[in-house]
Amino acid sequence: MKFIKTKISDVVIIEPKLFGDNRGYFMETFRADKLEAFLGYKINFCQDNESKSRKGVLRGLHYQLQPFTQSKLVRVIKGSVIDVAVDIRKDSPTFGKYVAVELSGENKKQLFIPKGFAHGFLVTSDEAIFTYKVDAYYAPEYERSIRFDDPDIGIDWSFPKEEMLLSEKDKSAPFLSADMGLVL
């Protein structure tokens, strides 16, 4: 596995080593020992999630408040997405900045998103199957959202806004400046 720091060094791209031949391929998708050695701290993933979405679906930007903040390890099994992590740690020098990475079933890249980040993705293929690990259980009463089109963040989704498909919750999410209890 190859670990690559992004412009926000706490967010990490992981490129697995692919072993392939005429029968197909094999790859390790997760190794706790290697990830923890790279990060310098332990991760205890406790829940796996999967979603299937069609082109134009935007899910996010979501996060959970303490004590249920989550680190995530995300990847796409089928299709492609633009995956985004936004730094919402108030004391961080990169507060309000974001990292965007194309994840696809073809490129096999994964993204590690630590606690203190809002996360979202936009499906750019006809359909995508998206899977991820989290290190804290989903707690709906602690879940919050930030608007996908917050001008202070300025995410370039590279996709026509009028073709995006969002839940009502994500359409009406507050802007980052609303300070939704960010104590991350």
- Determine, yes or no, domain membership for 138: yes
Write out the residue range of the structural domain in which residue 151 sits: 46-178
Tokens encoding 157: 């989704």
Tell me: the pLDDT tens digits for 29-86? 999 999 999 999 999 999 999 999 999 999 999 999 999 999 999 999 999 999 999 9
- pLDDT for 181 beyond 60: no
Can you say whether residue 116 is alpha, beta or left, with left for phi > 0 and alpha for psi between -120 and 50 degrees?
A: left
- Determine, yes or no, domain membership for 12: no
CATH classification of the domain holding 52: 2.60.120.10
Beta bridge partners of 103: 81
- Determine, yes or no, domain membership for 102: yes
Query: To the nearest whole number, what is the mean pLDDT of the chain?
Result: 95
Global confidence as pTM: 0.94
Tell me: the pLDDT tens digits for 71-128? 999 999 999 999 999 999 999 999 999 999 999 999 999 999 999 999 999 999 999 9
Q: Quick one: pLDDT band at residue 178, thresholds 50, 70, 90?
A: confident
Beta bridge partners of 8: none
- Determine, yes or no, domain membership for 21: no
- Determine, yes or no, domain membership for 30: no
With CA atoms as reference, report the closest residue to 170 among 142, 130, 139, 143: 143
Cβ atoms of 81 and 130 within 8 Å: the answer is yes
- Determine, yes or no, domain membership for 4: no
- Determine, yes or no, domain membership for 146: yes
Q: Quick one: pLDDT band at residue 184, thresholds 50, 70, 90?
A: very low
Q: Quick one: pLDDT band at residue 182, thresholds 50, 70, 90?
A: low
Number of domains in the chain: 1
Tokens 């995006």 found at: 164
- Determine, yes or no, domain membership for 6: no
Active site residues: 62, 132
- pLDDT for 154 beyond 60: yes
CB atoms within 10 A of CB 145: 20
CA angle 39, 45, 49 (to 5 degrees): 120
